[in-house]
């Protein structure tokens, strides 16, 4: 389906044209028909010769209803600009064209209506003089039917030139109508520009989770609707009063709801913008305060947050002067605060280089550290999951990490390996997994701590070496407490030696070489099974002081087993 909006001055024949093309009545309200004037949006559709369906969003031309007109064209990719042959170019011809240009609607058809009342040539010339790009023109009369076939053919050409919609894109359905159907509840309608809707899908509406109960497109029930389409969505559990035009039904977690954004303004110089404008996107219109940043860039503060993406096109309107001073391209939906001195100037320079196209490298550089989910919410395709680091920031964090690890080791000489969490906190990181990514050799993580590779203090290391030398000669003769005391090895020092993997503590004050248990097991296996404590003591050439805790150690490890009569065996199978 293609969706095409009308545009043009009041009474130039837009609704009559839609009626002639579709046989449907776009002016839905009695008041509209009584006054012969469109007030709000109208919807109608027809099938073209190619077999394609075109749906029209018919807009009002009267200057009072420009906000309604904008809500209609906002989400639509193509438009038919209608100029009456007998009236020619008029103020709202200009204002509507300015709106289409500001929103970046490039697929246009010029329709000279009421061609039975005047020669259309002058109107064509007048309109073409205002159009920035070459546009196909068709002259029609809804009264005689002249030109309608040509117009249908032109609509087919217009539609087939439209870019294919991105069906994988998240849904953002700007709501243009909301009403209640008895027995079904709340229904909202809109133009689906990208993505696909399905019954039972979970969506988000004004920060609340909602579910699609049923879908319709062009009056027929559907289980899925692909963009581009006019669609009516029956929502489960939504009060009619809680939804209105300008709200958006969105894919959860895929948009930033923001009231602060940086934009490029296409049109008037930013310095000439009024301090307050109305910001229009999709069917939404929101008051916005303008803070100029550069000649064509500004920060906007919206009166309420909207679901926006980088690269969105929107429009600024000056309601006081009935002017559209410009279109905008959204450059940043999550811009940095401008509190530091000189921040605004720096930001202006940054914005001057941005164009609203996703630029992952640029974003990582500017944001330094950002979650992939947040980038996707901003409309920036991000590779992978989790936290992403800008290369410059990663380099400076690596340097800081190294010095924090050193500082910790200096503060805790007996226990020099900092816990990962401590370093994560000191670096202000949002998640400890980042520490791992920032580690460079020889640093590694073991048991939740960062192995520093830092040598033990020399005095301690000499004392440990002496004990190790004793143990190499007599592996099961653990040093006596007076020997340890003489070497300055108290509980803390022995713990440090154990952590460094130099000694093994099998009990308080009893240390052996780390390979002592396996050496002991080898000797014990050769004993007749089961064996007594005394037999073990003799096989190991040691005393009860070592043999008891060593057997307990082996038992705890599951290397030996106790028999019913209190003896030991290395045969653990039974
Ligand atoms: N003679 C003649 N009259 C036409 C033609 N098209 C529209 N009209 C008349 O022009 C008047 C305005 O037509 P509409 O279709 O309501 O115009 P509109 O552009 O929809 O007006 P708004 O919605 O109020 O902006 C009506 O009286 C129509 O009958 C045409 O091709 N020939
Ligand atoms: Mg009308």
Summarised one tens digit per residue, pLDDT across range 203-234 is 999 989 999 999 999 999 999 999 999 999 99
**What is the number of alpha carbons within 13 Å of residue 51 lying toward its C-beta?**
0
Structure tokens at 102: 């500001």
Cβ contact 223:234 at 8 Å: no
pLDDT bracket for residue 574 (50, 70, 90): low
How far is the centre of ligand 1, averaged over its atoms, from the C-alpha of 324 (Å)? 25
Percent of the chain at pLDDT exceeding 90:
74
How far is the centre of ligand 1, averaged over its atoms, from the C-alpha of 16 (Å)? 5
Q: Does the C-beta of 521 come closer than 6 Å to ligand 1?
A: no
Cβ contact 152:139 at 8 Å: no
Query: In the predicted model, what is the mean pLDDT of residues 159-175?
Result: 96
Strands 220-222 and 53-58: unpaired
How far is the centre of ligand 2, averaged over its atoms, from the C-alpha of 5 (Å)? 12
Mean pLDDT over each residue of the chain, to the nearest integer: 92
Atom of ligand 1 nearest to the CA of 9: 25
Q: Looking at per-residue confidence, does 345 or 319 come out higher?
A: 345
Q: Does the pLDDT at position 413 exceed 80?
A: no
By mean pLDDT, which of 40-54, 362-376, 443-457 is the weakest? Answer: 443-457
Q: Does the pLDDT at position 452 exceed 70?
A: no
How far is the centre of ligand 1, averaged over its atoms, from the C-alpha of 37 (Å)? 9
**Residues in contact with 21: Cβ distance below 8 Å, sequence separation at least 6, in sequence order:** 44, 46, 56, 148, 151, 152, 155
**CA distances, 200 to each of 194, 211, 278, 425 (Å):** 18, 6, 35, 43
Q: Does the C-beta of 92 come closer than 6 Å to ligand 1?
A: no
Cβ contact 286:316 at 8 Å: no
Q: Does the C-beta of 10 come closer than 6 Å to ligand 1?
A: yes
Q: Residue 385's pLDDT is what?
A: 84
Ligand nearest to the CA of 139: 1
CA 90/CA 286 separation, integer angstroms: 27
Burial of 466 (0-12, 13-18, 19+ CB in 10 A): middle
Q: What 8-state DSSP symbol labels residue 476?
A: T
Q: Residue 557's pLDDT is what?
A: 87
How far is the centre of ligand 2, averaged over its atoms, from the C-alpha of 524 (Å)? 101
Q: Does the C-beta of 317 come closer than 6 Å to ligand 1?
A: no
> Among 40, 6, 271, which Cα is nearest to 176's?
40
Ligand nearest to the CA of 80: 1
Q: Does the C-beta of 347 come closer than 6 Å to ligand 1?
A: no
Residue with the nearest Cα to atom 11 of ligand 1?
11
Query: In the predicted model, what is the mean pLDDT of residues 359-377?
Result: 92
- Cα 196 to the center of its chain, rounded Å: 18
Residue 474: Cβ within 10 Å count: 11
Cβ contact 419:405 at 8 Å: no
How far is the centre of ligand 2, averaged over its atoms, from the C-alpha of 232 (Å)? 22
Alpha-carbon dihedral angle through residues 367, 368, 373, 376, given to the nearest 10 degrees: 50
pLDDT bracket for residue 441 (50, 70, 90): low
Q: Does the pLDDT at position 293 exceed 70?
A: yes
CA 239/CA 276 separation, integer angstroms: 32
DSSP for 376-401, please give it. HHHT----SSSEEE-HHHHHHHHHHH
- Residues paired with 175 in a beta bridge: 190
Q: Does the C-beta of 479 come closer than 6 Å to ligand 1?
A: no
How far is the centre of ligand 2, averaged over its atoms, from the C-alpha of 171 (Å)? 30
How far is the centre of ligand 1, averaged over its atoms, from the C-alpha of 280 (Å)? 27
Q: Residue 454's pLDDT is what?
A: 57
pLDDT bracket for residue 455 (50, 70, 90): low
Residue with the nearest Cα to atom 29 of ligand 1?
16
Q: Does the pLDDT at position 561 exceed 60?
A: yes
How far is the centre of ligand 2, averaged over its atoms, from the C-alpha of 16 (Å)? 7
Q: Residue 550's pLDDT is what?
A: 95
pLDDT bracket for residue 101 (50, 70, 90): very high
Length of the chain in residues, anyone? 574
Q: Residue 432's pLDDT is what?
A: 84
Query: In the predicted model, what is the mean pLDDT of residues 341-356?
Result: 94
Mutate which of 7, 9, 16 for ligand 1? The one with the most ligand atoms within 8 Å of its CB, which is: 16
SS3 240: helix
By mean pLDDT, which of 19-28, 187-196, 412-421, 545-554 is the weakest? Answer: 412-421
Q: Residue 228's pLDDT is what?
A: 96
User: What are the backbone dihedrals phi and psi of residue 139, each rounded to the nearest 5 degrees, phi first?
Assistant: -100, 135
Q: Does the C-beta of 36 come closer than 6 Å to ligand 1?
A: yes
Q: Does the C-beta of 143 come closer than 6 Å to ligand 1?
A: yes
Atom of ligand 1 nearest to the CA of 62: 25
Ligand nearest to the CA of 28: 2
Span 495-539, pLDDT tens digits: 888 877 788 999 988 999 988 998 899 889 989 999 999 999 999
DSSP for 124-190, please give it. HHHHHHH-SS--EEEE--TTT-TTHHHHHHHHHHHHHTSPPP-TTSPPEEEEEEEEEETTTEEEEEE
Atom of ligand 1 nearest to the CA of 12: 19
Q: Does the C-beta of 68 come closer than 6 Å to ligand 1?
A: no
Tell me the H-state helices in 412-457: 420-426, 433-438
Q: Residue 94's pLDDT is what?
A: 94
């Amino acid at each position: 389906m293609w969706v095409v909006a009308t545009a043009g001055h009041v009474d130039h024949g837009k609704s009559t044209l839609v009626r002639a093309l579709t046989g449907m009545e776009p002016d839905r309200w009695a008041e509209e028909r009584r006054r012969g004037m469109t007030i709000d949006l109208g919807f109608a559709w027809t099938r073209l010769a190619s077999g394609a369906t075109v749906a029209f969003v018919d807009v009002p031309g009267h200057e009072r209803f420009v906000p309604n007109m904008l809500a209609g064209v906002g989400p639509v990719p193509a438009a038919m600009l209608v100029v009456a042959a007998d009236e020619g170019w008029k103020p709202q011809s200009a204002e509507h064209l300015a709106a289409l240009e500001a929103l970046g609607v490039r697929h246009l058809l010029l329709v000279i209506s009421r061609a039975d009342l005047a020669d259309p040539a002058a109107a064509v010339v007048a309109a073409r003089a205002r159009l920035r790009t070459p546009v196909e023109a068709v002259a029609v009369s809804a009264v005689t039917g002249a030109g309608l076939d040509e117009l249908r053919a032109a609509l087919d050409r217009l539609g087939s030139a439209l870019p294919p919609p991105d069906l994988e894109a998240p849904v953002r359905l700007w709501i243009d109508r909301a009403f209640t159907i008895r027995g079904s509840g709340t229904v909202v309608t809109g133009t689906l520009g990208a993505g696909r809707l399905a019954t039972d899908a979970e969506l988000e509406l004004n920060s609340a989770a909602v579910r699609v109960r049923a879908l319709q497109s062009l009056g027929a029930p559907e289980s899925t609707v692909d963009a581009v389409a006019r669609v009516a969505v029956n929502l489960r559990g939504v009060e009619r009063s809680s939804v209105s035009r300008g709200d958006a039904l969105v894919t959860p977690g895929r948009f930033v709801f923001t009231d602060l954004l940086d934009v490029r303004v296409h049109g008037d110089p930013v310095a000439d913008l009024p301090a307050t404008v109305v910001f229009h996107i999709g069917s939404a219109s929101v008051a916005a305060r303008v803070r100029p940043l550069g000649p064509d860039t500004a920060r906007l503060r919206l009166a309420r947050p909207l679901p926006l993406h980088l690269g969105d096109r929107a429009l600024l309107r000056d309601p006081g002067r009935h002017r559209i001073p410009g279109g905008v391209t959204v450059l940043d939906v999550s811009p940095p605060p401008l509190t530091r001195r000189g921040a605004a100037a720096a930001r202006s320079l940054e914005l001057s280089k941005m164009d609203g196209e996703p630029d992952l490298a640029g974003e990582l550089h500017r944001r330094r550290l950002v979650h992939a989910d947040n980038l996707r919410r901003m409309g920036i395709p991000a590779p992978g999951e989790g936290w992403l680091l800008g290369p410059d920031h990663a380099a400076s964090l690596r340097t800081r990490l190294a010095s924090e690890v050193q500082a910790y080791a200096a503060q805790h000489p007996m226990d020099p390996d900092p816990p990962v969490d401590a370093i994560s906190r000191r670096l202000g990181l949002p998640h400890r997994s980042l520490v791992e990514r920032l580690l460079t050799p020889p640093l590694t993580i073991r048991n939740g701590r960062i192995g520093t590779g830092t040598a033990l203090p020399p005095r301690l290391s000499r004392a440990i070496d002496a004990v190790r030398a004793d143990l190499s000669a007599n592996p099961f003769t653990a040093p006596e407490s007076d020997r340890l005391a003489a070497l300055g090895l108290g509980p803390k020092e022995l713990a440090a030696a154990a952590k460094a993997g130099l000694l093994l503590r099998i009990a308080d004050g009893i240390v052996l070489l780390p390979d002592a248990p396996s050496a002991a097991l080898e000797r014990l296996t050769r004993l007749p099974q089961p064996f007594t404590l005394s037999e073990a003591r003799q096989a190991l050439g040691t005393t009860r002081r070592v043999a008891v805790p060593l057997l307990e150690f082996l038992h705890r490890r599951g290397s030996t087993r106790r028999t019913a009569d209190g003896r030991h065996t290395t045969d653990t199978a039974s």
